[in-house]
Each structure stands twice: as C-alpha cells, then as structure tokens.
Amino acid sequence: MKTLSERLARAMKETGFDSQTQLAKAAGVEQSVISKIVAGASKTSKHSSKLAAAMGISADWLINGAGTMRGGIDSPLQRIDVSKLVKVFDEKGDTGEAITWVSEVPDNYRAYIIKRNTGVAQAPAGAIVVVNPDRSPSTNDLVVTLISGSLSAFRYHESGDGGGFLSVDDTRIPVTPVRAGSDIVGPIEQVFIPSLSK
C-alpha cells in the first residue's frame, strides 16, 4: 500500500469503522479531514496519529507505510476514543489531564476525584464523579461544591425563596444554606466508585 489513502481505507475496514463520521468522532477530528484523505486529496495529514490511535493501529504504518498495521505485535493496540475523554478538574481548575469514561459525555462535562469522605454514600472518598457545570441543580441532586477552596459532594435541596440548602446522609447534621451560587460546581451526572471494600 503506497498511499495514505489506501492505508486508511484498509485500516478502517479491518478495524470495524464503517463510516468516516464514526472514525471522526472517535478520533476527535472533522469528518472532512478523513474524506480528503480517502479521496486522495490529502497525501499527508497532521491528524494521522489521532486516526491511528482511534483505530488501535500503528501510526508509523498509517503515516509512512513502515512496518505492519498492528505494529509488529499479534494483539491489537489499545484504541483511544476521544469522544469518551473527560477533562479532570480539581480545586484550582483544569488539571490538563483527562480520563476515559465508560460512555460518551458532552464536551462541557468535568471529572472530579473525591479525595476525602463527603458524608454522602453515593460519592465516597476515591469516587470519580462527572459533573455538568452548565445545569442548575434540582432538589435531591448530588452536587459537587467548592467552598473555601475545598471540593466536596452534597445533596442539594431547593428552598422556596430560590436559594438552596446542602445536606449529607447523616440526618443529625443540619442542612447548610448555600451562601453563593458559585459554591456549587454543578450536579453530578455519573459516579464511578473504584472499590466499595477497603
């Protein structure tokens, strides 16, 4: 296979990508990039390594035709589906890291790693929570908060005056009024708990 176009078409077929749109989404590139390569209009592409990673093939083979598609190993390389990547945030903001989530999530979602006990069983220490910072919480939503520079998780309750309160599972601990809207990062959409036993 002498051209990038031929190698990409073969790789898509052998790795199960039935459409250019499907590959574009997994690689995080525009579908038009793939279309130009397949049509032979682009002899090279700065996105080739992303395409190779999404298909789990050797970037050197795809770009240069060197070696084998699988990179000289029998088992496939790990596929990287960027549509399932979630940016990781902490108390200071974007950490510059990302995690692969179990399902595709919108680009605006953020992942937080709960580092200490929150008092909410659904978001214990060690849990990874995915938050939608653009949605306002409703009663009984779990929310991530950033209060006095500390991240935590609470259950949110709406009050009649448009404000809100935060609570934990232990009913002996009184609810706390939300002081400012900026204290709430956003509602928790999904939770991953690595281990329930210690």
The whole model's pTM is what? 0.65
Per-residue pLDDT at 169: 94
What pLDDT, on a 0 to 100 scale, did the predictor assign at position 74?
A: 58
pLDDT along the chain (198 residues), means of 10: 88 91 88 90 82 88 85 65 84 89 86 93 93 94 94 92 90 91 93 72
- Domains of the chain plus CATH, in order, are 4-80 (1.10.260.40), 84-192 (2.10.109.10)
Inter-residue contact 4 to 63 (CB < 8 Å): yes
- How high is the pLDDT of residue 160? 79
